[in-house]
Structure 1
């Protein structure tokens, strides 16, 4: 005799097995991973998220030049706690009235020679040769345009009574532009490369005052313009946003042959 409990179990058993059987019969499908945009947001953060201004690249690139240029402006002529007039009087008492030497005319390009020597020695720079050359050209263009524009606008007379093109110092701007590029390109290898380059640039600034060619305000502002030009050249360079290097192994050497005489050999081995 079949009890009523047996009939109840017989009715409930198919009901309990039905969802499991249905689940087992439906195949699971997974959508393929979207790899078309995997390099656009590698950290997974929202694209609308922005860093605070004080931590942005633009702020870090402009804060030091802004301080140097601002201090230079604050000491023009007799202004400031330690004015350009005060600095010139102290320099003349220490070294006598200038000029003393013309070495600063050549020393302003010395950081570039340091960079070239290090590269010839086999030390790899941050950028390949082509992109490094483009950064240098862009930095030079920014520096020359900004410095000579400000010279024409300010028309400050040089301390030796020369032309009214004192502010800012072009020699100092050139030296600090080159030093900033050396530091940026080689700082991953050794900080001493940048220390040497900035020491040369500082020597140029001091010599411009010792030779009575520039005021204190001129050299501080010139240093700011040089550093700012280098930073803007790097920030605006396309290689910063992931463009593949054009090639690192670019070299140019002199050559001679009995049939063709002297000439130059250009070698390019792109990677």
Structure 2
């Protein structure tokens, strides 16, 4: 009779062991999470990372034009560290009075000729021909409208006495074309852009040498041209054709059988 008693006591101890206070103290209670709320958001695949203002496309597209336009405004007439009058005096000293050439009238479109020649040679541009043409058309409209609005709003006389000097339309046109060429071909070689900006700078210099514009006009004109090109790209949504580097629209056709009837299921996903 003694052994069954021991067995029953031992069984009772085993059953009570998981619920005893001693066993409960051996399992530590997890501490409150007070650290993860201060961690940075995840940066892996699928994580949404908000860019700062200085990393945004709008800031990067406008910072250089803003500096050029701002500097141009600061040097109107006799103002600024190196004013338009100072630049005019140095040009007269170097080249003398009475300079006249029409080379700049044609040179302002030279970056477009360079772009066309490179494309005809078989070099692939960033965008297809349709989207490239639309970007150029949009950028030209932005440049022409903004330049002429500012011209007639400021109504500053040119060095030769004729009106509407600020900003220089020839210089804006040249730098607009150079910016588009640089954007389209910079992945192929940086020398394309260097050549285009060199031509555009030549246009700006000739406008001052020909007594058609002040220093302030050509510097601000370069800013207007570059800004117009950047706005043309930023506002383009590639509705005609597909954006290079992306995936074209997909159409999936699958057979369908439901309630004794057969058919086809169409799934079209635009990109």
Alignment of 1:12-161 (within 5 A): 43-46=45-48, 50-161=50-161
Asked if the contact 1:168–1:219 (Cα under 8 Å) also holds between the matched residues in 2, the reply is yes
Larger radius of gyration: 2
Classify the secondary structure of the residue corresponding to 1:134.
helix
Verify: 1:201 aligned to 2:200, yes or no.
Answer: yes
Other-structure match for 1:180: 179
Classify the secondary structure of the residue corresponding to 2:180.
helix
How far residue 208 of structure 1 moved from its aligned partner, in angstroms, is 0.4
How far residue 99 of structure 1 moved from its aligned partner, in angstroms, is 3.0
Verify: 1:227 aligned to 2:226, yes or no.
Answer: yes
Other-structure match for 2:248: none
How far residue 44 of structure 1 moved from its aligned partner, in angstroms, is 2.0
Aligned residues between the structures: 217
Instruction: Quote the Cα distance in structure 1 between the aligned partners of 2:63 and 2:71.
Output: 12
How far residue 234 of structure 1 moved from its aligned partner, in angstroms, is 0.6
- For the structure 1 residues 43 and 234, does the alpha-carbon distance in structure 2 shift closer, same or farther, using more than 3 Å as the test? farther
Q: Deviations over 1:34-64 (max 9, x none)?
A: xxxxxxxx94224xx5321111111111110
Other-structure match for 2:242: 244
RMSD: 2.7
How far residue 96 of structure 1 moved from its aligned partner, in angstroms, is 1.2
**Structure 1, unpaired ranges of 5+:** 14-41, 247-271
**Structure 2, unpaired ranges of 5+:** 16-43, 245-271
What TM-score results when the alignment is normalised by the length of structure 2? 0.73
Q: Deviations over 1:210-249 (max 9, x none)?
A: 0110000000000000000001111111139xx7249xxx
Instruction: Quote the Cα distance in structure 2 between the aligned partners of 1:43 and 1:227.
Output: 35
- For the structure 1 residues 173 and 4, does the alpha-carbon distance in structure 2 shift closer, same or farther, using more than 3 Å as the test? farther
Comparing 96-105 and 130-139, the one that deviates more? 96-105
Instruction: Quote the Cα distance in structure 1 between the aligned partners of 2:5 and 2:60.
Output: 84
How far residue 152 of structure 1 moved from its aligned partner, in angstroms, is 0.5
Other-structure match for 1:255: none
How far residue 86 of structure 1 moved from its aligned partner, in angstroms, is 1.0
- For the structure 1 residues 6 and 129, does the alpha-carbon distance in structure 2 shift closer, same or farther, using more than 3 Å as the test? farther
What TM-score results when the alignment is normalised by the length of structure 1? 0.73
- For the structure 1 residues 43 and 209, does the alpha-carbon distance in structure 2 shift closer, same or farther, using more than 3 Å as the test? farther
Classify the secondary structure of the residue corresponding to 1:224.
helix
Instruction: Quote the Cα distance in structure 1 between the aligned partners of 2:6 and 2:107.
Output: 105
